[in-house]
């Protein structure tokens, strides 16, 4: 994309000597917006990043994987600040326009000496690396890179102006809705103010990253950033233009969120739970969230068992208003429960066949009102336990 450069190199932070240091550079200072974890235990780069984003401008982002720089006290803050200065000096830019992110093991000091030694190489690599290299450098337990790109067109009185939005994310475990449970970086050449960008990003996250679950754990390092450098043709300065931009941003965020769920640690299936007919919108959210987080529901999906009792029980403990005698439950288009009554062995066999698919849709109709919401989640397999048992080994 015009005006943005990317790098991804090995700094020796990870034990396997894979890519672990990524750099994003905008040739001009860019309007920016960010959302961070709502966990009360937060990493040093998040503490620093919240202050950095108060002015809504960025020109560079440095991301390391393999070390979260969390629970590292004053030393962790000092190391994050040192990384900011290193990048700013190497690129000859304002340090107030540099954001740092970290992901990896919690509790170990950031090996800032390794990062310092590799900053010159990272800056030099901006001329030869691509966004693919950056996407690879930010991974931890991920099995694949996650990238999405969309184009949009703004119609003006004179002509049409186009813009592009690109997004990169990492995330596989420690995933639950509570802002945006992962690291994600989005770039656009549209000309949009920081305030409007924050508004658009918050909306997009609420319908995507805040509606996913892998294991129900909120990370200490979650960061979602969007940079708009205005290097393209499109200006987002009215409701119509913002609507077009919002739709494209929503799609980028949703597709990135889905990729995270699909790559969930040990996951074999992606499921969508849609709750409709709730008494309120809040009740729909509570119900869908409880089902998406349920280990019993997740393991049933892995076992290809349409255990509808686990789903309705999760709804019952969600805190939402429910009436078990009014519930209808579908697996895709198969009605398994109607008015709280199991529809028999034949319906269950059809639902079991549906659960053999890689993607499953479950619809729970509470038949109480107009509230509606949905979550993306994945199953639990034995590999989830293995991955997290071996994580620090």
Asked if 39 and 220 touch (Cβ cutoff 8 Å), the reply is: yes
Asked if 55 and 171 touch (Cβ cutoff 8 Å), the reply is: no
Asked if 246 and 190 touch (Cβ cutoff 8 Å), the reply is: no
Asked if 115 and 7 touch (Cβ cutoff 8 Å), the reply is: no
Is 181 part of any known ligand binding site? Answer: yes
Q: Which residue from 110, 106, 99, 76 is spatially nearest to 22, judged by alpha carbons?
A: 99
Other residues' Cβ atoms within 10 Å of the Cβ of residue 36:
21
What crossing angle do the helices spanning 73-91 and 44-52 adopt, rounded to 10°? Answer: 50
Active-site residue, 389 included: no
Q: Which whole-number Å values give the CA distances from 358 to 131, 262, 301, 336, 343, in the listed order? A: 28, 9, 10, 20, 24
Is 140 part of any known ligand binding site? Answer: yes
Across the beta sheet with 270-278, what order do the strands follow?
212-213, 371-378, 270-278, 359-365, 328-331, 334-338, 341-342
Enter the tokens of residue 47: 């503490």
Is 89 part of any known ligand binding site? Answer: no
- The CA-based dihedral angle spanning residues 74, 78, 79, 84, taken in that order and rounded to the nearest 10 degrees: 140
Distance of CA 301 to the CA centre of its chain: 22
244 vs 238: CA distance, rounded Å: 10
Which residue in 181, 188, 223, 272 is the catalytic one? 181
Residue 390: burial class (beta carbons within 10 Å; 0-12, 13-18, 19+): exposed
DSSP-assigned states of every residue in 305-373:
---HHHHHHHHHTSSS---GGG-EEEETTEEEEETTEE--HHHHHHHHHHTTSSEEEEEEE--SSSEEE
Is 356 part of any known ligand binding site? Answer: no
- What is the CA angle 195-132-264, rounded to 5? 80
For tokens 């720089």, what's the residue? 69
Q: Which whole-number Å values give the CA distances from 151 to 93, 161, 189, 208, in the listed order? A: 29, 11, 10, 19
Is 72 part of any known ligand binding site? Answer: no
Is 202 part of any known ligand binding site? Answer: no
For the annotated catalytic residues, the residue numbers are 181
Annotated binding site for substrate: 140, 170, 181, 265, 388, 393
């Amino acid at each position: 994309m015009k005006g943005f450069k990317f790098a991804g190199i090995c700094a020796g932070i990870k034990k396997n000597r894979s890519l672990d240091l990524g750099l994003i550079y905008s040739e001009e200072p860019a309007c920016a917006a960010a959302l961070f974890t709502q966990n009360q235990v937060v990493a040093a780069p998040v503490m620093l990043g919240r202050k950095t984003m108060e002015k809504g401008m960025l020109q560079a982002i440095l991301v390391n994987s393999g070390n979260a720089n969390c629970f590292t006290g004053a030393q962790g803050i000092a190391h994050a600040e040192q990384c900011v200065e290193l990048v700013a000096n190497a690129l000859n830019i304002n340090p107030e326009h540099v954001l740092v992110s970290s992901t990896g093991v919690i509790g170990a000091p950031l090996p800032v000496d390794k990062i310092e030694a590799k900053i010159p190489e990272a800056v030099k690599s901006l001329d030869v690396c691509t966004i693919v290299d950056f996407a690879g450098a930010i991974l931890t337990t991920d099995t694949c890179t996650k990238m999405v790109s969309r184009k949009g067109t703004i119609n003006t009185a004179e002509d049409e102006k186009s813009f592009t939005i690109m997004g990169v994310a990492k995330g596989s475990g420690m995933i639950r809705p509570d802002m945006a449970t992962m690291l994600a970086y989005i770039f656009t050449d549209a000309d949009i103010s920081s305030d409007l960008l924050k508004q658009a990003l918050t909306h997009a996250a609420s319908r995507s990253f805040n509606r996913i679950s892998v294991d129900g754990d909120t990370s200490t390092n979650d960061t979602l950033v969007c940079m708009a450098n205005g290097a393209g043709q499109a200006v987002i300065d009215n409701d119509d233009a913002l609507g077009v931009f919002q739709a494209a941003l929503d799609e980028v965020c949703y597709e990135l969120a889905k990729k995270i769920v699909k790559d969930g640690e040990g996951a074999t299936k992606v499921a969508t739970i849609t709750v409709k007919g709730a008494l309120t919108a809040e009740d729909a959210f509570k119900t869908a969230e409880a089902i998406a987080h349920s280990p019993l529901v997740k393991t049933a999906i892995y076992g290809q068992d349409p255990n509808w009792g686990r789903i309705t029980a999760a709804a019952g403990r969600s805190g939402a208003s429910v009436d078990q005698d009014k519930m209808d439950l579908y697996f895709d288009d198969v009605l398994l429960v109607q008015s709280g009554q199991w529809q028999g062995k034949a319906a269950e066999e059809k639902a079991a066949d549906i659960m053999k698919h890689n993607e499953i849709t479950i619809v729970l109709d509470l038949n109480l009102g107009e509230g509606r919401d949905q979550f993306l989640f994945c199953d639990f397999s034995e590999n989830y336990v293995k991955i997290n048992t071996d994580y620090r080994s």
